[in-house]
Structure 1
Amino acid sequence: MSAGSVALDRELASTRRLLWGDQVKDDVFRRWAQGFQFSPDEPSALIQLEGGPCAAIAPVQGFLLKILLSETPGHSFHDLTSEKCDSLLVRAVCTILSQCLAPKYNVAVYRKNEPDAETSGGNNVEGQSNTVCDTIEQFHRRIEVHPFQTLSEVESFYTRNIRILKDKYGVLLLLYSVILSKGISVVEAELSELSDPLIHSTYGYGSQGLINLMLTGRAVAHVWDHDQVVGGLRLRGIEQQNDIGFLTIMEHMQYCTVGSFYKNPKHPVWVLASDTHLTVLFSLERRLAAPETVGESAERIFRSFDPEGNNFIPSAALQDVLCAADLVSEPEYVELMRRKLDSENLGIILLSAFMDEFFPGCEHGAPDTFTIHHYNGLLRSNPGTRVLYRTGRAALLECPMRAASTDAMLTCLQTKWPSIDVVWDDGQSPSLN
């Protein structure tokens, strides 16, 4: 579809409302107007220039790392050529598009020439002109959409026209391609209980629906497993184990509950969320991606009733724990177990006693020690504004750690690994913001 056609204008108007709402602040639009650029200091790390577009950049970085770690384990990150990194970028973008399960793929392109200058079957397409578009209206007037039937066609197109992704509007063009491929009506249906735009009209941050769309292909608003009915409303969550995961410090603040699908992805890569920014954690330790065992799930549930990290719960909470862990929770049985586990009638039940009773000999899937790496693409959040992967040595301790309120990174990681402690190679915990 060419710029200026009635059909495309209608689609773009609907996409604009879905993404931006009725009003778009020029400074918010300009913050999102950047391409996928690699760091000169870390060949495979993407740079984020301003706050806002992390909702697109961090998921792309996550899938890029997933592909890199899966295919070249043990490879030095510093040996990667620019051609290899461009290929990883294209494949990461295509992975995100593939999750939309679209009947065809609609790739948005920004044209510097008049719309009839070229077609998708002809010469390569320019990714960006030297003309600066200060408003979304100017940007929309220059968008053209190229339809493709297969993902391999999309990959070939992006490979030939890599500047589409790397030049100024690459991030926005990917967002538009995802929504136009998936279908506006489908995205709206998945966001049925929400009316807010996917990008915050004032601050420019991506919503949870947008983050989930980029990570899973579904624009649902919640991070728990499956759907939940709350107050008669069906609220949609994550429907299956994902390739890469998601952890958020907002769970520590009890604003949400991240489900097992996100906490235990297929690959040891997690997007990390603060209240304003997204970064990425990853590891070469494949065992970190092992599915949660039944015992680990029960221990996690037990700890959720022990917010102070005391390694015990009130005896009165046993029935709720058993119910949440999908164990027998009939009152007579619960009372029998309560007397057994609290034989001295102290009013508490120890975690060790609970696990020995219900999951004797349970082994953890994760190793006790492992190396982790952290990516933060925002220039100002990196020492010397150099975007580099930061490395830490992690250990799972006997007892849960209590993170200092100033260590947001450790607090976020403890929503998945309650007993984790990390020593970073440079002696400083990386920023989540």
Structure 2
Amino acid sequence: MAAGATDEEPRRFFGPSRDVPTTTDGPSPPRIGEFLSPMDAESLMSVVGPPELPEAWKQGFFFAGYQPYGLQQVNGGPCGVLAVIQAFLLRALHLRGVGSTELLEVDEKLRHEALCDALAEVLFRNVGDNKKAVVLIPSSAGATVLNGAQLRGLQPALFTSYDQLRHHLNQRPYRDLFFNPSGCGVPLYLYSMVWTRGVEQCRGRDFDDPKTGAMIGGHGYCTQELVNLMVFGRAYSNVFDGTKRLGSAKDGWLVLQGAPKRPSIGFLSLFEAYACIEVGGRYKGPTCPVWVICAESHYTVLFSADGTVNPQESEKVLDLFYFDQLARQNERIRLTVVPKQLPSHLATGFEEGESMIDRCIRTKWKEASVDWNGAEVIL
């Protein structure tokens, strides 16, 4: 340690230098900025939500072998981030022209490529408006970054093209940070999304309520704002189509912002089955047949292995696969959905005894029967 240095001082960035050119066959390295100041770190954590992320958030993005295409969640908490990245990973496989059989049995090389596609897609094209991405880098690969004090050791790495970011995700230090199962890849990705969008943009332009809006809510779970940030690049608080105005011209309008456009991946929620919220047609009919499912504060993924399926269609019989990254799901769960064939013992399909997943499905595929094809039904 240099003379006069203290343990509290952030150490130098362990990746490419800002000053010394790095020889590379790919795109140029990102520009590395100054360490976050104490005020920067405090401001960032104020938008994240809690003063410290739960220990359960400490993990990277990795596959654990339960399903070849499936990411692994270690503990409860970061399911929203992992489910959205899982959804974009499946979309990346569809965009690569992978057929149903190959997708379900995807090999290690291809699934890692799709994971890098997903991380770059969300951070650069969605959150960064296809203009930039900022990755916040700690002083060492093993650094723990769960609270504001630890965020002071982060440096912003600015990427100005998708290809530049996509390339460097497979290079040190980024691959060591994001893909280490026991590292802090998921928290770093969360901070990087907020920093890329901008603290004041999230608070002043996106949240319904700038005073209470946050990315992480009670018990360490992801909020709708975080899911929407990843999908749309805006931390909006709602899932209906477009915007709604409450109040009056005299007293002032309160503008509530929902899905601004048809997204790449969809979203279905048990809260709609409870008649608590309205999920709009944009979220129910994305451009790719992959949906994030929110049921009892847990986020999972429902998808068609056939990328040619029209995700706006809700009248035809189809097979969907269900994946829960937290469930250690050794069994492949295939659901056959038959719209307008509600079982005779049900009146609405939203009865309390029905599977949470079935009820979410019926918010899009009305009065559907859902055959779990021998798999144990998740209630």
- The answer, yes or no, to whether TM exceeds 0.5 is yes
- 1:166 deviates by 1.3
- Match among 163, 169, 174 for residue 158 of structure 1: 169
**Matches of 2:188 and 2:145 in 1, distance apart?**
16
Matched with 1:397 is 340
Which of the two has higher C-alpha Rg? 1
**Matches of 1:155 and 1:7 in 2, distance apart?**
24
Task: Tell me the SS of whatever aligns to 2:261.
Answer: coil
Q: Would you say 1:54 and 2:84 are equivalent positions?
A: no
- Match among 206, 223, 231 for residue 207 of structure 1: 223
- 1:40 deviates by 1.5
C-alpha contact (below 8 Å) 1:288/1:367 kept by paired residues = no
For residues 429 and 32 of structure 1, do their structure 2 counterparts lie closer, same or farther at Cα, with a shift above 3 Å needed?
Answer: same
For residues 241 and 134 of structure 1, do their structure 2 counterparts lie closer, same or farther at Cα, with a shift above 3 Å needed?
Answer: closer
1:346-404: CA deviations, max 9, x gaps?
xxxxxxxxxxxxxxxxxxx44532111001011xxx3xx34554112221235686334
Task: Tell me the SS of whatever aligns to 2:93.
Answer: helix
**Matches of 1:369 and 1:110 in 2, distance apart?**
49
Q: Would you say 1:256 and 2:204 are equivalent positions?
A: no
Alignment of 1:209-288 (within 5 A): 209-231=225-247, 232-285=253-306, 288=309
**Matches of 2:167 and 2:256 in 1, distance apart?**
38
- Match among 76, 97, 121 for residue 102 of structure 2: 76
Matched with 2:322 is 374
Task: Tell me the SS of whatever aligns to 2:189.
Answer: helix
**Matches of 1:134 and 1:397 in 2, distance apart?**
49
C-alpha contact (below 8 Å) 1:247/1:258 kept by paired residues = yes
Matched with 1:108 is 136
- 1:59 deviates by 0.4
C-alpha contact (below 8 Å) 1:17/1:197 kept by paired residues = no
Q: Would you say 1:95 and 2:121 are equivalent positions?
A: yes
Matched with 1:359 is none
Matched with 1:12 is 41
C-alpha contact (below 8 Å) 2:224/2:237 kept by paired residues = yes
Matched with 2:21 is none
- 1:213 deviates by 0.6
1:95-127: CA deviations, max 9, x gaps?
101112164221122332xxxxxxxxxxxxxxx
**Matches of 1:195 and 1:55 in 2, distance apart?**
22
For residues 201 and 286 of structure 1, do their structure 2 counterparts lie closer, same or farther at Cα, with a shift above 3 Å needed?
Answer: closer
Aligned residues: 332
- Match among 168, 189, 209 for residue 193 of structure 1: 209
**Matches of 1:73 and 1:408 in 2, distance apart?**
29
**Matches of 1:6 and 1:41 in 2, distance apart?**
39
Matched with 2:30 is none
Task: Tell me the SS of whatever aligns to 1:411.
Answer: helix
Q: Would you say 1:180 and 2:127 are equivalent positions?
A: no
For residues 159 and 271 of structure 1, do their structure 2 counterparts lie closer, same or farther at Cα, with a shift above 3 Å needed?
Answer: same
- 1:80 deviates by 2.5
The AA in structure 1 aligned to 2:271 is M
- Counting aligned pairs with the same residue, the percent is 23
For residues 170 and 141 of structure 1, do their structure 2 counterparts lie closer, same or farther at Cα, with a shift above 3 Å needed?
Answer: same
- 1:39 deviates by 2.2
**Matches of 1:149 and 1:368 in 2, distance apart?**
43
Q: Report the aligned-residue RMSD.
A: 2.5
**Matches of 2:105 and 2:130 in 1, distance apart?**
36
- 1:81 deviates by 2.6
Matched with 1:311 is none
C-alpha contact (below 8 Å) 2:270/2:356 kept by paired residues = yes
Structure holding more helix per residue = 1
Matched with 2:160 is 149
- 1:11 deviates by 3.0
- 1:187 deviates by 1.5
Q: Would you say 1:415 and 2:358 are equivalent positions?
A: no
- 1:426 deviates by 2.8
C-alpha contact (below 8 Å) 1:288/1:366 kept by paired residues = no
Task: Tell me the SS of whatever aligns to 2:366.
Answer: coil
C-alpha contact (below 8 Å) 2:334/2:373 kept by paired residues = yes
